[in-house]
Amino acid sequence: MVDLNPDIDHTTVFTQLWDILGELRQKLDTRFTLHPNPSKQELQSFSSPDESVNGSLMTFSGSEIDWLVYSWLNNPKRHFSTMRLTVWLGTHIRVPHLAFELGTVPTVFFYMDYVPRVDLWSDLNYVERYYEPVNSTYLALRDNPHLSLFTSKSLYVRQFQSPIHLCYTCQTSQESLQLIETIAHDMLERWLRWVDEAEPVPEEARTALGERDLRMRRISTERDPGNQLAAQIFGSELTDTLVRSLWSSDDKTL
């Protein structure tokens, strides 16, 4: 693999990564009916007080999706960016939630995962159905000499990630960007098949499932190690609004 890091402009890399998420988002729009959250419209465009860091955060929901986040942050001068597409399903099925995060740190970073909705230690059927099919991809990426495993220093983040989570950094090249695009589409297409084939959750079990989902979503967002840096960049007030918007609309509480 040829390292093109000195030759590919940061803006170009950011655009290419954002285009990948855009392609995934288009497939989701084709499959699901989604509605923007009207209380979060002011976050479609925001910036730091010195305007060195810009961002956008959009959230959606629908009859099958409880909460979808589509967001980005970009600091061109420091060659830093992060973007995410996370999909939290409703309680009608137990298919894992879907998480994508891409960015530049300044090398390329990617995280893709299926967030479990049961206790994986005790539900062997769930593990075999939703995680065994991705184990070969997980092992192949671990053996890829052009990828560097990214391990979070946060104990909670490591606990939150599933056994097949894909979390790496790599040098900026067209080959690495193509690899990310291919894997991302594979992850989404597999997940969409699961959604279409899933058995419904009994009505009496949906309340508990929804409470678990919301608790996990809130804790994972509030424990994000990046929140401290965000507060330094945007100030505590805007950061608190962003964090709240990542996990819930204003009418949801635990």
Would the pTM count as exceeding 0.85? yes
Inside any domain, residue 249: no
Inside any domain, residue 241: no
In tens digits, the chain (254 residues) has pLDDT values of 233 344 568 899 999 999 999 999 999 999 999 999 876 678 999 999 999 999 999 999 999 999 999 999 999 999 999 999 999 999 999 999 999 999 999 999 999 999 999 999 999 999 999 999 999 999 999 999 999 999 999 999 999 999 999 999 999 999 999 999 999 999 999 999 999 999 999 999 999 999 999 999 999 999 999 899 999 999 999 999 999 999 986 655 55
Inside any domain, residue 254: no
Residue 113 CB-density burial (10 A; 0-12 exposed, 13-18 middle, 19+ buried): buried
Inside any domain, residue 68: yes
Inside any domain, residue 211: no
Cross-strand pairs, 36: 60
By residue range, what is the domain housing residue 153? Answer: 10-206
Number of separate domains in the chain: 1
| 43 backbone dihedrals φ, ψ, rounded to 5° | -95, 5
133 with 190: CB under 8 angstroms? yes
| CATH code, domain carrying 190 | 3.40.1500.20
